[in-house]
Amino acid sequence: MNQTAEKAIAAYGGKGLWKNAKTIEAEVSVHGWAFTLKGRPFFKHAKIKMEVARPISRLTPIGRNPQISGVLDGHDVHLEDANGRVIEERKNTRSYFPGGRRLFYWDDLDMSYFANYAFWNYFTLPALLMREEINWTEIEPGWLEATFPDSIPTHNKVQRFRFDLETGLLLQHDYTADIISKLATAANVPLEHRQGSGFTYPSRRLVTPRSPSGKPLPAPTLIDITVHDFQIK
């Protein structure tokens, strides 16, 4: 493991914490142009529960009905009611993007895929740095390039992460949201961090388009994420 990855893992709680972590539970509010573009309601204090070792995540509510959860299981998604009953499902969800009506509108299953895999990637990053199936390369001091396998649902195959050389905290996460468009290049910038019980986590993130030089543009706000609560169990 390279020095940047080692420092980042230490900054976010350490190897011991993330090797033993089973689940993450969080409460989030999210808004931005990406939601409006796809005809989606914003998330207001939505609840997320996910596994750390596998891309399995549940987000409630996923849409306008407060009783409906959107669940990701690898590349498959389904909707559950308040009693845990599956009411709709879609296999191999990624194959439906980005064409057709999805250029203009996402339903609850579409959003279940996008939001859950995105949060799973963001929230489990320290553990992702230790996954052998992801090829991590230090392209320059503080910058890591990740090549993801097809088995992990994520924004796109090759992504870049910039960490503070002193603190190890994440400064910028660069990717292309392929399921929106091959042109949807974005910079995900943590604006704030908070302390949890024995760990640190990004509590506010701003996602904007990325310039050709790699710098985050000031506008438009594609996604604005506030994490109200974050627990590792």
Domains of the chain: 3-228 (2.50.20)
| pLDDT tens readout for residues 75-108 | 999 999 999 999 999 999 999 999 999 999 999 9
Residue keyed to tokens 């033993």: 20
Angstrom distances, CA of residue 163 to CA of 6, 14, 25, 171: 11, 15, 24, 5
Distance CA 222, CA 180 (A): 12
Per the CB < 8 A criterion, the answer to whether 57 and 51 are in contact is yes
Question: What pLDDT shows up at residue 4?
Answer: 96
∠ at Cα 9 (154, 190), nearest 5°? Answer: 60
| pLDDT tens readout for residues 165-201 | 999 999 999 999 999 999 999 999 999 999 999 999 9
Question: What pLDDT shows up at residue 135?
Answer: 98
Question: What pLDDT shows up at residue 5?
Answer: 97
Q: Which two tokens stand for residue 89?
A: 């499902």
Mean pLDDT of 138-156: 97
Residue 209: pLDDT band with limits 50, 70, 90: very high
Question: What pLDDT shows up at residue 207?
Answer: 98
- The per-residue b/e assignment along 35-65, b for 16 or more CB within 10 angstroms, e otherwise, is beebebeebeebbbbbbbeebbbbbbbbbee
| pLDDT tens readout for residues 20-57 | 999 999 999 999 999 999 999 999 999 999 999 999 99
C-alpha torsion sign, points 9, 13, 19, 22: negative
Pick the closest to residue 117 from 172, 70, 60, 63 (CA basis): 70
DSSP-derived secondary structure for 142-178: TEEEEE--TTS--S-SEEEEEE-TTT--EEEEEEE-T
Residue 1: pLDDT band with limits 50, 70, 90: confident
Residue 6: pLDDT band with limits 50, 70, 90: very high
- Judge residue 140's burial from the number of C-beta atoms within 10 Å of its C-beta, 0-12 exposed, 13-18 middle, 19 or more buried: exposed
Q: Where on the phi/psi map is residue 173: left (φ > 0), alpha (ψ -120 to 50), or beta?
A: beta
Question: What pLDDT shows up at residue 93?
Answer: 97
Distance CA 25, CA 89 (A): 23
SS3 39: coil
Give residues with Cβ within 8 angstroms of 87, minimum separation 6. Answer: 68, 78, 79, 80, 81
Residue 160: pLDDT band with limits 50, 70, 90: very high
